[in-house]
Amino acid sequence: MKEVKSPKRPLLYYYCIVLLIIFLFNLLVTPLLTQNHVVNVDYGTFMDMIDEGDIGIVQVEDTQIIFTNKDDTQIYETAPMEDPSLTERLHNCGAKFDRVIEEPTSPILSFLLTFVLPILIFVGLGQYMSKKMMEQAGGKNSMSFGLGKSNAKVYVQSTKGIRFADVAGEDEAKESLQEIVDYLHDPSKYTEAGATMPKGILLVGPPGTGKTMLAKAVAGESNVPFFSISGSEFVEMFVGMGASKVRDLFKQAKEKAPCIVFIDEIDAIGQKRNSGSGYGGNDEREQTLNQLLTEMDGFEENTGVIILAATNRPESLDPALTRPGRFDRRVPVELPDLQGREAILKVHAKKIRPAEDVDFHTIARMAAGASGAELANIINEAALRAVRNGRTIVTQSDLEESIEVVIAGYQKKNAVLSDQEKKVVAYHEIGHALVAAKQTNSAPVQKITIIPRTSGALGYTMQVETGDKFLMSKEEIENKIATYTGGRAAEEVVFGSVTTGASNDIEQATKLARAMITRYGMSEEFDMVAMETVQNQYLGGDTSLACAPDTQRDIDRKVVELVKKQHGKAIKILQDNRSKLDELAGFLYEKETITGDEFMDILTGGDKQ
Q: Which residues form the interface with ligand ADP (CB under 6 A)? A: 1, 167-170, 207-213, 310, 344, 347, 372-373, 376
What is the rounded CA–CA span in Å between residue 433 and residue 445? 6
Task: Give the amino acid at 33.
Answer: L
For the CB of residue 220, give the shortest distance to ligand ADP in the complex, in Å: 13
Are residues 332 and 173 in contact, defined by beta-carbon separation less than 8 angstroms? Answer: yes
Strand order in the sheet with 445-449: 460-463, 445-449, 593-595
What is the rounded CA–CA span in Å between residue 475 and residue 459? 26
For the CB of residue 10, give the shortest distance to ligand ADP in the complex, in Å: 28
**Computed over its alpha carbons, how large is the radius of gyration of the chain?**
39
DSSP 524-544: TTTTT---EEES-TTTT--EE
Q: What are phi and psi of 347, to 5 degrees?
A: -60, -45
Count of residues making up the chain: 609
What is the rounded CA–CA span in Å between residue 367 and residue 463? 10
Options 236, 342, 374, 429, the catalytic residue: 429
For the CB of residue 343, give the shortest distance to ligand ADP in the complex, in Å: 7
For the CB of residue 492, give the shortest distance to ligand ADP in the complex, in Å: 43
Are residues 321 and 270 in contact, defined by beta-carbon separation less than 8 angstroms? Answer: yes
For the CB of residue 526, give the shortest distance to ligand ADP in the complex, in Å: 36
Task: Fill in the DSSP letter of residue 315.
Answer: G
50 vs 308 by CB, closer to ligand ADP: 308
Are residues 275 and 231 in contact, defined by beta-carbon separation less than 8 angstroms? Answer: no
Residues in a beta bridge with 353? 393
The H-or-E segment that residue 586 falls in is helix 578-591
207 vs 586 by CB, closer to ligand ADP: 207
Q: Sign of the CA dihedral 314, 320, 325, 326?
A: negative
Measured CA distances, 184 to 187, 261, 510 (Å) = 6, 13, 51
What is the rounded CA–CA span in Å between residue 231 and residue 9? 23
For the CB of residue 210, give the shortest distance to ligand ADP in the complex, in Å: 3
What is the rounded CA–CA span in Å between residue 306 and residue 262? 8
209 vs 288 by CB, closer to ligand ADP: 209
For the CB of residue 198, give the shortest distance to ligand ADP in the complex, in Å: 20
Measured CA distances, 509 to 4, 327, 380, 403, 469 (Å) = 40, 39, 33, 23, 19
Give the CB-nearest residue to ligand ADP. Answer: 372
For the CB of residue 205, give the shortest distance to ligand ADP in the complex, in Å: 6
2 vs 37 by CB, closer to ligand ADP: 2
293 vs 376 by CB, closer to ligand ADP: 376
429 is catalytic: yes
349 vs 408 by CB, closer to ligand ADP: 349
How many Å from the N-terminal Cα to the C-terminal Cα in the chain? 55
181 vs 213 by CB, closer to ligand ADP: 213
What is the rounded CA–CA span in Å between residue 593 and residue 397? 13
Pairing of strands 593-595, 445-449: antiparallel
Alpha helices in 394-457 (DSSP H): 396-408, 419-438
Measured CA distances, 177 to 164, 171, 331, 372 (Å) = 10, 10, 8, 19
354 vs 372 by CB, closer to ligand ADP: 372
Are residues 265 and 232 in contact, defined by beta-carbon separation less than 8 angstroms? Answer: yes
170 vs 478 by CB, closer to ligand ADP: 170
For the CB of residue 372, give the shortest distance to ligand ADP in the complex, in Å: 2
172 vs 301 by CB, closer to ligand ADP: 172
Task: Give the amino acid at 309.
Answer: A
State the burial class of residue 205 (Cβ atoms within 10 Å of its Cβ: 0-12, 13-18, 19+).
buried
For the CB of residue 1, give the shortest distance to ligand ADP in the complex, in Å: 5
For the CB of residue 455, give the shortest distance to ligand ADP in the complex, in Å: 21
Residues in a beta bridge with 65? 60, 78
334 vs 598 by CB, closer to ligand ADP: 334
Please choose, from the candidates 76, 2, 90, the residue with its C-alpha nearest in 3D space to the C-alpha of residue 41: 76
Task: Give the amino acid at 138.
Answer: G
Q: Hey, which residues are catalytic here?
A: 429
